[in-house]
Amino acid sequence: MPMSGHHDRHHDHDHSELSETQLRVRALETVLTEKGYVDPAALDLLIETYEKKVGPRNGAHVVAKAWVDPSYRARLFKDATPAIAELGYAGRQGEHIVALENTPNQHNMVVCTLCSCYPWPVLGLPPVWYKSAPYRSRVVADPRAVLAEFGVTLPAETKIRVWDSTSEIRYLVIPMRPAGTEGWSEDQLAELVTRDSMIGTGLPNRPEN
Amino acid sequence: MNGAHDLGGMHGFGPVEPEPDEPVFHAAWEKRAFALTLAMATPGGWNIDMSRFARENRPPAEYLAMSYYQVWFAALETMLKQRALVADDEIAAGHSLHAPKKVARTRSRSRSSR
């Protein structure tokens, strides 16, 4: 690279660090491409997949089906990975998924204290807060306070169970079906299912909203 | 292994700050670092445990000061250099300076419908 960028580095510390990372990533991609190890078009496709195709709408489909179809629900809680694959969701970071049932007695929350393990095929890539030190450190010690930071308060008698993910086992929370949705179709119900409700840091939207 | 990544139960990190309408990536380089890490797993011959180790076996002060994808990218460089797939002079030059090694190929994108 020419040294023209050097002069700018003295001004904005954060900005220049970002630019340095940016330049370093670009340099590495060029080296790996020139060596024939990667194809930039294949990288574009990977990015597009995780930006546009694989995301929490997949998980919402699973949850809505579990709400309307008792036999699907039974299969999901018996062995979630094949039940999720029935709907076409499988692959990277979803090789072994466990579905967790929220009930009036127990609310489930998911974390990866060591890293960022997350069920990609049904939720996509994790948000920054899920990967960050505040969530990873605190949710195992004080889940009710963390829930409050997400605006959720549960009845005192509801137990909270926190599940620590590993690189092998990833969890999908199946929230309780909101009251007032009798007769709703699977697609309508899926609209109520938020990403956070499948991590356990939120609840599904209410039908009146 | 233990280390700075083992955060469960630690105090002092402050409140959780969810970002409304958060994008999947926060900068163009994050997308490339993410995709390069995934795409290089087969030619690099590493699995998830090896890449986790490369990310977490980092001096604690560094680990805590870096952003998520900065950790990913640093681990990618480490793993590539350990396997002699890339050398420091090449990263500095931004070009391949040495002959490539023979590596396993990832699936070609031509199999995809797009």
- pLDDT per residue of chain A (209 residues) written in tens, 0 to 9: 333 334 433 444 455 666 889 999 999 999 999 999 999 999 999 999 999 999 999 999 999 999 999 999 999 999 999 999 999 999 889 889 999 999 999 999 999 999 899 999 999 999 999 999 999 999 999 999 999 999 999 999 999 999 999 888 999 999 999 999 999 999 999 999 999 999 999 999 999 87
Predicted complex ipTM: 0.90
| A135–B36 CB contact, under 8 Å | no
For residue B97, what is the nearest residue in chain A, using CA coordinates? A31
CB pairs under 8 A between A and B: 167
Query: What is the CA angle A114-A118-A119, rounded to 5?
Result: 155
Name the helix (H) or strand (E) containing A138. helix A133-138
pLDDT tens, B60-84?
888 889 999 999 999 999 999 999 9
Tell me what percent of the residues of chain B surpass a pLDDT of 90: 67
Question: Residues A61, A172: contact at Cβ < 8 Å?
Answer: no
Task: List alpha helices for B1-114, DSSP H.
Answer: 28-39, 41-44, 48-56, 60-65, 68-82, 88-93
Q: Following CA atoms B6, B9, B14, B19 in sequence, which dihedral angle do they give, to the nearest 10 degrees?
A: 70
Tell me what percent of the residues of chain B surpass a pLDDT of 70: 92
The reported pLDDT for the residue numbered B94 is 95
Give the C-alpha separation, B69 to B26, whole Å: 10
How far does the CA of residue A21 sit from the closest CA of chain B (Å)?
Answer: 8
Interface test with A, best of B2, B6, B7 (most A CBs within 10 A): B7
